[in-house]
Structure 1
Amino acid sequence: MWGSYCDNALEKRTPYRQAHLDGLAQQKEQGILITLGPTKDNTKVFGIYEAESETLVRQLIESDPYWQNSIWTEYQIKEWIQAF
């Protein structure tokens, strides 16, 4: 998953950050989320999910407080083939 952050995301995310992190931790414990984080300049977000379907990944992203509160402004999901 690649997505974009809103302007001033570091400031705007504050009220939603703990709920966001708790949700990601739960996804990680379930084995669905492999990794997720921002680019160094905090303009993009990148995540790797191992899920049964793209629909499930979309549901997880769209239920995240960052998506629901417009901290993430858009996202794309690209199916990835692990070569190594």
Structure 2
Amino acid sequence: MEFLEQSQTLNSERYISPLRALKLRFRRVWRDNDSILQHDNARPHTSRQTQDAIRQLELTTLPHPAHSPDLAPYDYYLFPQLKK
């Protein structure tokens, strides 16, 4: 886990370095070397630099749908009147 200093933003360069560390961790922990990554479609995650690094590190990414204003199914449990 890495934290940013106050007023710093996450960009592609800052996102790629933890990905490299994560890949090394995957190699140590899992022998079959299946590295699956799921992240949202925020700008640092979808930039060309990040996508190139993901291909270079041989990480598999799961598709993630675009952010939706719809409620998730568990929201109906919290707000039962919304079902109607």
TM over 0.5: no
Q: Quick check: which one's helix share is greater?
A: 2
- More strand per residue: 1
Larger Cα Rg: Structure 1 or Structure 2?
A: 2
* Higher RCO (CA < 8 A, seq sep 6+): 1
Alignment TM-score, normalising by the size of structure 1: 0.29
